[in-house]
Amino acid sequence: MSLIPSIFGSRSNILDPLSLDLWDPFRDLALSSSGETSQFAATRIDWKESPEAHIFKADVPGLKKEEVKVEVEEGNVLQISGVRSRDKEEKNDTWHRLERSSGKFLRRFRLPENAKLDQIKANMENGVLTVTVPKAEVKKPEVKAIDISG
């Protein structure tokens, strides 16, 4: 046993080649006070706009559609949220790694005025949630010609 700790971590079990725990400077920076993994809280969502719609794509691997909520709040706010629970721990189990994230996530986006809130559709396929918000047609202002007298 070394008296000086290594910055590269230590082996918890010398016989396990996968037990090298590297130093993580962000390990203690948790977003949640409950101790849940904070990586899941930062669910990545892409938002693109096409001529017809606003399209949101969220990576939610391993979640069922029942574990994800898509809601529209007052003031044109789209809210996407979900929960991933940890696997049940059995008394006799020995964990070597616990890297998959768990916990809650919540993301909100203010939609533009031309969003058709009553026609929003959501689809989940292969761990990607796609929310499509159709856009109302922008009416071009009518131009009225005025006759010039004189």
Inform me whether the pLDDT recorded for 51 exceeds 90.
yes
Within 13 Å of residue 98, how many CA atoms lie on the same side as its CB?
Answer: 11
Percent of the chain with pLDDT strictly greater than 90: 43
Residues 30 and 13: their CA atoms lie apart, in Å, by 27
Q: What is the 3-state secondary structure (H, E, C) of 49-104?
A: ECCCEEEEEEECCCCCHHHEEEEEECCCEEEEEEEECCCCCCCCCCCCCCCCCCEE
- The pLDDT assigned to 27 comes to 47
Q: What is the pLDDT of residue 139?
A: 77
Most confident stretch, 38-47, 82-91, 137-146: 137-146
73 pLDDT higher than 80: yes
The token pair at 31 is 């977003």
pLDDT at position 47: 95
